[in-house]
């Protein structure tokens, strides 16, 4: 079974325990998973924003996030990943509207797939632009509904 790349939008949903997060957990099951090193920071921003008016909810959500990240393989944002992300932005910015962090996620996913072999990684995202870029790059995966 393929390694599952989980992006930050999905990790935040999982930490919040919302409907998308529950769908992602069902897809994940007992599969091995991975994400980019940048996910911890990006998810912290998402959780901090979500709990801006109710800061008491932040620590439990952070604990869930930390537990999720603790059982995942993380992919370092190396110069190779940065170069690949730059290429992805060049290729998909005008047509798809690919953004910087989304490009870094796709490049991180491509990095681990290069190590494991073609078809060895699938993705889960809640971001349509990222999903479109993933599929344009030949990955298979799941776009969770908003």
What are the tens digits of pLDDT across the range 86-115?
999 999 999 999 999 999 999 999 999 999
Q: What is the mean pLDDT of residues 44-58?
A: 96
What are the structure tokens assigned to 96, written together?
Answer: 């798809």
What percent of the chain shows pLDDT beyond 70? 100
State whether the Cα torsion 52-56-60-66 is positive or negative: positive
- What is the pLDDT, as a whole number, of residue 20? 95
Contact 79, 11 (CB under 8 A): no
Supply the pLDDT for residue 22. 96
CATH number at residue 10: 3.40.50.1010
What is the mean pLDDT of the segment spanning 118-141? Answer: 95
Q: Average pLDDT in the 127-144 region?
A: 96
- The tens digit of pLDDT for each residue in 12-38 reads 999 999 999 999 999 999 999 999 999
Structural domain of residue 22, as residue ranges? 3-143
> Would the pLDDT of 1 be above 90?
no
- In this prediction, residue 146 has a pLDDT band, given cuts at 50, 70 and 90, of confident
Q: How many domains does the chain have?
A: 1
Assess contact for 121 and 2: CB atoms under 8 A. yes
Give the residue-averaged pLDDT of 63-73.
97
144 C-beta neighbours (distance < 10 Å), count = 18
pTM score of the predicted model: 0.94
What average pLDDT does range 28-56 have in this prediction? 96
Mean pLDDT of 128-138: 95
Strands (E), the chain: 3-6, 33-36, 73-75, 121-125, 140-143
């Amino acid at each position: 079974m393929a390694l599952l790349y989980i992006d930050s939008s999905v990790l935040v949903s999982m930490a919040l325990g919302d409907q998308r997060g529950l769908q992602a957990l069902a897809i994940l099951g007992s599969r091995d998973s991975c994400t980019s090193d940048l996910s911890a920071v990006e998810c912290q921003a998402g959780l901090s924003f979500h709990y801006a008016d109710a800061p008491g909810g932040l620590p439990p959500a952070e604990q869930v996030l930390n537990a999720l990240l603790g059982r995942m393989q993380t992919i370092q944002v190396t110069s190779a990943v940065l170069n690949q992300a730059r290429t992805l932005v060049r290729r998909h910015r005008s047509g798809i509207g690919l953004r910087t962090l989304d490009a870094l996620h796709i490049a991180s996913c491509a990095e681990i797939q290069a190590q494991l072999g073609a078809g060895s990684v699938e993705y889960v995202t809640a971001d349509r632009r990222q999903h479109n870029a993933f599929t344009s790059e030949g990955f298979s995966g799941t776009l969770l509904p908003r």
